[in-house]
């Protein structure tokens, strides 16, 4: 038998292969071993074995990728409207009923838990804009969809719907908070401008105490405020009677910290049907940039009609805009 005489570099690459965790890492290490191993009679069997393992890994990896591509990607919902808001909560809190009441969408609503199995979007009108709401599957101590924390990470705001008809309201509320924390999502009253480097997503949240029309709800609401009122803001509504829903729409809009800006051409009325949506604190230049980068580059100045200026006041690029300002751009 001809000796293999394997070099030290090969032995080191073989050790790295043993330590590899993913198929991609194992494939890379096998390719490295094949590149290093000497080509002579003594290594023929080893090289053949490496090629066989490499072929099997490649086929298995491709099969996994094809299977993954066929699986529904529930953690992503295509954005529509001015912002994206997730509804989360325990079983039977009334999330689907709330979505239907606020948006006119038709999710499956039933008096038994776990009716929702996948994201269910709907568009909530607020004055002249639409805000996208997304109903999600319920969260319980032993049940949470694996993709749900990823979806919550991507939204702009969270409506945490709880059930004022349940005697277990505190336990259910705490369970949802803890399960999302396990998924590296922290529900907070005020989200930082920069997310922490730890990888935990801090999501601005309001507790929506649903079913405020049921017997015993005032007492449970008081208890809820006592235990969670200093951690998260709280509003009460009834999806079935409509109580508090208009206030909730306004609350969501204000919590999103966005403004609407209307554009106009010289000597023409403003377009109030399709406002430009910007973050609060945005400037004239930000508004121009949101329309087109060339528009911003060639911007000379603007005229503003709004609450903080006199009509038609000339302003520069750095002027901070207010909600429902009307802006007339002047280009070089």
**Residues across the chain:** 332
Per-residue pLDDT tens over the stretch 282-326 = 999 999 998 888 878 888 889 999 877 788 899 999 999 999 999
Compute CA distances 218 → 37, 111, 226, whole Å.
76, 22, 12
Give, rounded to a whole angstrom, the gap between the first and last alpha carbons of the chain. 83
What pLDDT was estimated at residue 20?
85
Report the DSSP pairing between strands 185-188 and 201-210: parallel
Are the C-beta atoms of residues 29 and 17 closer than 8 Å to each other?
yes
pTM of the complete model beyond 0.75: no
Q: Which of 206, 204, 211, 218 is nearest to 244 (CA)?
A: 211
Confidence of residue 112 (pLDDT cuts 50, 70, 90): very low
**Percent of the chain residues topping a pLDDT of 70:** 91
pLDDT at 212 over 80: yes
Mean pLDDT estimate for the chain: 88
SS3 for 127? coil
Q: Which of 297, 327, 303 is nearest to 315 (CA)?
A: 303
Say which CATH class 84-255 falls into: alpha beta
pLDDT at 240 over 80: yes
pLDDT at 146 over 80: yes
Average pLDDT over residues 162-167: 95
- The better pLDDT of the pair 299, 157 is held by 157
Average pLDDT over residues 130-138: 95
What pLDDT was estimated at residue 262?
94
Q: Tell me which of 3.30.9.10, 3.40.50.720, 3.10.20.30, 3.40.50.970 is the CATH number of domain 258-331.
A: 3.10.20.30
pLDDT at 206 over 80: yes
pLDDT at 151 over 90: yes
What pLDDT was estimated at residue 322?
94
What pLDDT was estimated at residue 109?
55
Domain boundaries, the chain: 8-70, 84-255, 258-331
- The better pLDDT of the pair 208, 290 is held by 208
CATH of domain 8-70: 1.20.58
pLDDT at 141 over 80: yes
Per-residue pLDDT tens over the stretch 54-76 = 888 888 877 776 655 555 567 78
What pLDDT was estimated at residue 69?
55
Compute CA distances 33 → 97, 127, 208, 307, whole Å.
59, 65, 58, 70
pLDDT at 97 over 80: yes
Rounded to the nearest 10°, the torsion over CA 93, 97, 101, 107 is 140
- The better pLDDT of the pair 222, 115 is held by 222
What pLDDT was estimated at residue 306?
86
Helices (H), the chain: 8-19, 23-36, 44-70, 95-103, 148-154, 169-182, 217-228, 245-255, 284-291, 293-297
Report the DSSP pairing between strands 120-126 and 234-236: unpaired
Radius of gyration in angstroms for the set of CA atoms belonging to the chain, rounded to a whole number: 28
């Amino acid at each position: 038998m001809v000796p293999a005489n394997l070099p030290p570099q090969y032995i080191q690459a073989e050790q790295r292969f043993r330590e590899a965790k993913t198929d991609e890492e194992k494939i890379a290490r096998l390719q490295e071993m094949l590149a290093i191993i000497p080509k002579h009679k003594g290594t023929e069997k080893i090289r053949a074995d490496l090629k066989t393992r490499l072929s099997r890994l490649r086929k298995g990896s491709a099969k996994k990728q094809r299977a993954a591509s066929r699986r529904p990607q529930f953690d992503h919902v295509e954005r529509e409207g001015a912002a994206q808001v997730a509804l989360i909560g325990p079983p039977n809190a009334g999330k689907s009923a709330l979505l239907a009441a606020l948006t006119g969408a038709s999710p499956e609503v039933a008096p038994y838990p776990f009716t929702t199995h996948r994201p269910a979007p709907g568009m909530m009108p607020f004055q002249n804009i639409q805000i996208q709401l997304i109903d999600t599957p319920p969260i319980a101590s032993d049940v949470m969809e694996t993709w749900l924390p990823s979806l919550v990470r991507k939204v702009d705001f969270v409506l945490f719907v709880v059930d004022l008809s349940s005697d277990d309201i505190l336990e259910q509320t705490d369970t949802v908070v803890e399960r999302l924390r396990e998924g590296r999502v922290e529900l907070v009253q005020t989200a930082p401008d920069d997310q922490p480097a730890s990888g935990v997503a801090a999501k601005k949240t309001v507790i929506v105490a649903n079913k405020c029309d049921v017997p015993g709800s005032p007492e449970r609401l008081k208890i809820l405020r006592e235990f969670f009122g200093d951690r998260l803001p709280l509003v009460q509504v009834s999806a079935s009677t409509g109580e508090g829903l208009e206030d909730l729409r306004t609350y969501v809009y204000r919590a999103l910290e966005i403004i609407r800006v209307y554009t106009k051409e010289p000597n023409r009325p403003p377009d109030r049907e399709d406002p430009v949506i910007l973050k609060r604190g945005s400037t004239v230049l930000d508004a121009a940039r949101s329309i087109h980068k060339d528009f911003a580059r060639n911007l000379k100045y603007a005229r503003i009609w709004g609450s903080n200026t006199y009509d038609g006041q000339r302003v520069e690029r750095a002027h901070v805009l207010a909600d429902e300002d009307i802006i007339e751009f002047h280009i070089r």
